[in-house]
Every structure is written in C-alpha cells, then in structure tokens.
Structure 1
Amino acid sequence: MGGGAQSPSTDAHGETDGSGTVSATAGAVVYNRSKNGSGASVGPVAAATNWTPPACYYAPKYTPEQLQKVKEPVWEAESTGYQWDATQRDRYVNGKPYKDFNKEKAGEGYWWDSYVTPGREGDPGALDCKEEIFWVDTGDDPPADIPQAITPEVLAQLAYAEIRVPTTEVELRPAEATKVNLPTWAWLDATDFKPVSVTASVPLLQVEATTTAEPVSVKIDPGTADAQTYPASGVCEVANGRIGEPYANGKADETPPCGVKYLRSSGDGSYQLKATVTWKIHWTGTGVAGEQPLPDGDFGGEQDVVVQEIQAVNR
C-alpha cells in the first residue's frame, strides 16, 4: 500500500464468504500492481499541482444484519448519550429515513461506510469522510453529492497514489568528471523509463479503473547558475521512445540534444544536478469511454557532478 514496500502483486483487502455476505472489509480496494514500477529505486509520483488522491473513501461495508450487530451494542451501552442514540435509532430503525436496518432489502444492496486509504492513516484528509453510514441498492450509483464514494474515477485517483516510477539518475558523458565549457551529454535508460500502470477495483461492485503513467520529458537543473542547458529550457522531451540521446564516438563536436555545459569549475566539491521526469497520467475504467486525464506527476533525483578546469600544458 501507499508508503510500503512495492512489488508487482495483487493485494486484496476485502472478501465475501461463500454465501455472498459482505465482510467488514469487502468494500476495500484491491490493487493489481503487476504492471507497476518495481525494485529498490522506485518512488511515488507527486502531482505537479496541489492535487492529491483521496485519503479516505466510501464503499460497501455492512449487510443489514451486520450493521445491526455494530450499532445496537453501542446504543445499549449508552456511552454516546441518549440524544445521539435516539437520533441513530431514528435513522436506522424508525424510518427516518431507514426502517429496521433495511432488512427488507437484504441481498439487494449494502450499507456503505468510510475507509481510510492505506498509508494515509495520519493524513488530515483521512478525517474528511464524515458522512453517516448510508444505503446503496445493488446496481445503483452512490449519491453524487459524496465525492469520495467509490466510482471508476475515485478508483483511478486511488490507483494514482500507488504508481511507482524509477529514480531519475541520468547517464552523463563524460561520466566521471566533466570539464568547464565542455558540452556534457545526458540521457535516460529507455528500458527503465516506460509506461507503468496500476489497476484498482472493488470486485463486490464489479467496478475497476486502470491508471497509467507515461514519461514525457525530463527537466535538467544543473545545480548552479553558471551553466547552460541543452535545450535552453532544460526540458528534454521524449523522442523516438527515449529521453535524450546516448553519446557515441565521433559526436564530440556536436551539440547534445539533451545535456548541460558548466561554465565554472566545481572546485574541490561537486554540483548537485537534479533531473526531474514529468509523467503524463491518464485512466480508463468501467463504463468510461476512452482515456481520461489526471494531473501530471513529477519524480526526480539528484546526483553529484564534478566539473574540472581544462589544464593547459606550458612548454
């Protein structure tokens, strides 16, 4: 889950018993990460805007009988106060708006309640789901005025948080140390930087969404103002399935399509070059025609670059 170890897997966090009765976690989201980035160097993308996936959501949690078993002991204990208990009894038992926990609709729907998105337990947003437990008939959409209720789009947003992409360390030539005023070529390994995806689903609802991230560019920040990037914007777009172009013998006099030229030595230290890849993110899901956009994601990494003065030989 979010913040935990990542591996290509399908993680289920809900199930039903043999009779189809919902368990206490059957509405929780199941993730298929078999096409996600993996390995020790991967990390989550961060939305380029201030948008974040939901830290909580609503999905099926109880049958009528299960909700009764949850609520009645609380009322009998009188630990929440007479007025609150009376209001709850009215809501779920006395027909305001539900009657007898909706037992007459047993097998025709579920009580929906909130879940905290795993990995977001300490997030203030985890407290945003404050709606009372509500009923949804099988086959019906959840109320439109509850934005965190599970839909294909919400599943796509939850899958966004599970996307993992490679750490961005660019290949440089010269590799060990570059020279002042020498164009340095930069590129990314095409085998690492390819589309990745995660599918999120709630099998009980027969609804799912797949979120896909595709690398589109890398932005080079040389780590000093005394440098010139190629191209001048420092943004290298994906071309022919790769970002940048590997250096090859005979190209020393050519301008690199992606790279940097340092104008001052790094002295006894090094510059911190940062390369940030932008990932274009989109999703598709149950009942949705075509690909739908989500905010672009960024993920970067820093690396040391030693820049030396070119030594002149006097005779």
Structure 2
Amino acid sequence: MKRPLKRLSAVLTAGTCWSLLALPGVATADDTLGGDTQGATQEANAGKDGTVSVTVGGVVFDRSKNGSGNSAGALTSSTSWTPPPCWYAPKYTPEQLQKYLEPTWEAGSTGYQWDAEQRDRYVKGHPYKDFNKDKTGKGYFWDSFVNKDFPPGWDSCEEPIFWVDQGDPPPANIENAVTPKVLAELAYAEIRVPSTEVTLAPAAATKVNLPTWAWLDAADFKPVSVTASVPVIGISATATAKPVSLRIEPGTKDAVTYPASGVCEVNNDRIGQPYAKGKADQTPPCGVRYLRSSGNGTYPLQATITWEIDWTGSGGASGDLPDGTFGATQDVVVQEIQAVNR
C-alpha cells in the first residue's frame, strides 16, 4: 500500500539544512537511524578549509576533498539528468520503528483504516510480525528521504517502510534504494568546484585587436570529489569531477576567440598558457581578441568549465555520470589604441 503524502518522510533541503550543526565524530548505526523526525537528522564535522562532512538521510557525505572558497559552486548537468529527488536508506531498528509508529496510531491522526493496515503490516505478520523484533541486529527497516531541491520528489518515493536483511541488497523493484550507484548520484549533487574566473593578460584593460591571453591557475585547477556512504550497511561511492575544457564567450559578437571554437582543452593539467614577456606577437592557445572598444562600459566575458564525472564504489562498482558545467562572468574593459601624432 502506498502511504498518504502527509506520512512521507521529513523533507530535506540539501543546500540549507546540511550546514546547521558542527559535531565531531563518525556516524554509527545509532546516529543514522530512527528518531522522532524519521531519521531526518544530520551531523557535520567542520574542516579547517571550511568543507564539512555531514550525515543526512542515512547517508554520510564526506566533502573534505571538495572545491572550496566563496566562489565555489555546484555543477549543472550538461544533459537533462538530475540526481535522485528522493532515496531509500536504512532508518529504523525494529524497536525504533515501534517507537515511531505506535504513538501515531494511538493519536489516531491518520485515521482508523490506515492505522489498522499499518498494524496488520508491522505487527500482525503481513508480512512483519511484532516489528520483526526476532531479527533485531540482523537488518533494518528502510524508509524514504525526500530532497525538495529536486522536484517532483513527492511522487517518487511512496513505498511503505520495508525490511532488508543485513548483507542483502534492497528489493530490485524499488527505485533509488541506496546502492553504490545511487550513492554516486547523490554525491554528484554535493560536488562543489572552484571559481572559473580566468586570468587575463593584459589584466586591467585590453586593447582593440590585441590578443588577450587567458588561462587558469594550475594550483586551483584539479579534480575534486565527494564520497557518500551508508556505514550501517557498509556501502560507499566516490564521485570525482575532473576539469576537461574551458569555453570562453567574449560577451560581444565583435570578437574572435582562440581557438575559433572558443573551447580550450586541457593540456598538461592546465587550460591555457600564462602570458610571458616576448609573446606579444604570438597567438595565445586560449584567449580572445576584441574588435571593438567597450566604450564607457565593459564586456561580460563568460568562462565555463566542463567537468567529467566518474565514480567508484564498494564491491568494485564503477561508472560514469553526465558531464557537469560551472561558469562565471567577469567584466573586461576594451580600449581603443591611442595613436600619437608628431
């Protein structure tokens, strides 16, 4: 039987909820299961660089190898794919499920028929007898966690709370029950990549018809990753984002890009090449040449990096996820070359 929507698991908003607490330690079964909020609790371990590891929805996210800084941001999938809007994970021991459901039944707030069906399912043996207490320590009841950031999650996870024996996979017919692949997809949503503001030469202002060199600092230009795990059942997955190319959009049609496509590929762990004295007459491997002055204003140069995403998980699982992009805009001043008459 499907649950009424009002009985769905507590709604979680990834971007706003996960930074509330700062508690040390690694999640245990007791940390990630049960509770009056249906397990919609979290823990966070703040690192020196501002990154955190968090526990939410029965899943631990290790973001210690993520991009950092005020300008870091989330990836946008290059396709219509999005991470799961909801997922199923271990949430209750038999005793915790009893503690959660019985007060609801006693209150009668969900109606006699629904309560009776729930008692039949979890107490009277159809299929679980006395909350599966005879299996205490041998598995968990799984329930849904909904992420409001990825609608329409409300309609995606309506399966009633179900039991999974320890060491067994979740039922194959239940979509988005946590597996290494689903964990990788959830980790994708937590990846943050550094700013894509490129270094330009000339820096303060460039000139009409003067090639402007563009490149990214190699120190910031490196892979980032997030690991998602469910400690109580011993599965995990790490999603890694690797920068592969930079697209430059000059902000005006009166410009020429280098290369002509505007896409600068990675070369020896770097995109573009720093300008050096003596290269003024050379064509930059990555850059732009403006054909018209920006007048009293500026041109909004858009720099967007494409990141390839792959993942590895427990049990030797691995795969690829859709590429992601992240961009930033920076203002460019373009001046006319001043000629001197003698």
TM over 0.5: yes
Residue 223 (1) aligns with residue 251 (2)? yes
Q: CA deviation at 1:77?
A: 2.2
Two-structure CA RMSD over aligned residues (Å) = 2.3
C-alpha distance in structure 1 between counterparts of 2:266 and 2:58, whole Å: 37
Runs of 4+ more than 6 Å apart = 9-13
C-alpha distance in structure 1 between counterparts of 2:112 and 2:34, whole Å: 30
The answer as to whether partners of 2:32 and 2:91 remain within 8 angstroms in 1 is no
Alignment map for 1:96-245 (pairs within 5 Å) = 96-116=126-146, 120-121=147-148, 123-127=150-154, 128-245=156-273
Gaps of 5+ in 2: 1-12, 40-54
Q: Which residue of 1 is the match for residue 300 of structure 2?
A: 272
Q: Which residue of 2 is the match for residue 64 of structure 1?
A: 94
Residue correspondences, number:
307
Q: Which residue of 1 is the match for residue 280 of structure 2?
A: 252
With over 3 angstroms needed to count, the CA separation of the structure-2 counterparts of 1:218 and 1:125, relative to structure 1, is same
With over 3 angstroms needed to count, the CA separation of the structure-2 counterparts of 1:252 and 1:11, relative to structure 1, is farther
SS at match of 2:266: strand
Q: CA deviation at 1:2?
A: 4.0
Specify the code of the residue in structure 2 equivalent to 1:57.
W
With over 3 angstroms needed to count, the CA separation of the structure-2 counterparts of 1:198 and 1:10, relative to structure 1, is farther
With over 3 angstroms needed to count, the CA separation of the structure-2 counterparts of 1:144 and 1:106, relative to structure 1, is same
Q: Which residue of 2 is the match for residue 298 of structure 1?
A: 325
C-alpha distance in structure 1 between counterparts of 2:59 and 2:264, whole Å: 37
- CA deviations on 1:52-109 (whole Å, 9 max, x unpaired) are 2123211111111221222222222222122212221222122222222222222211
The answer as to whether partners of 2:32 and 2:58 remain within 8 angstroms in 1 is no
Q: 1:3 aligns with which of 15, 20, 43?
A: 15
Residue 310 (1) aligns with residue 341 (2)? no
The answer as to whether partners of 1:62 and 1:110 remain within 8 angstroms in 2 is yes
**TM-score, length basis structure 1:** 0.91
Specify the code of the residue in structure 1 equivalent to 2:127.
P
Residue 90 (1) aligns with residue 117 (2)? no
SS at match of 1:210: strand
C-alpha distance in structure 1 between counterparts of 2:233 and 2:323, whole Å: 28
C-alpha distance in structure 2 between counterparts of 1:32 and 1:49, whole Å: 26
With over 3 angstroms needed to count, the CA separation of the structure-2 counterparts of 1:143 and 1:285, relative to structure 1, is same
Specify the code of the residue in structure 1 equivalent to 2:132.
N
C-alpha distance in structure 1 between counterparts of 2:120 and 2:313, whole Å: 38
Specify the code of the residue in structure 1 equivalent to 2:264.
C
Gaps of 5+ in 1: none
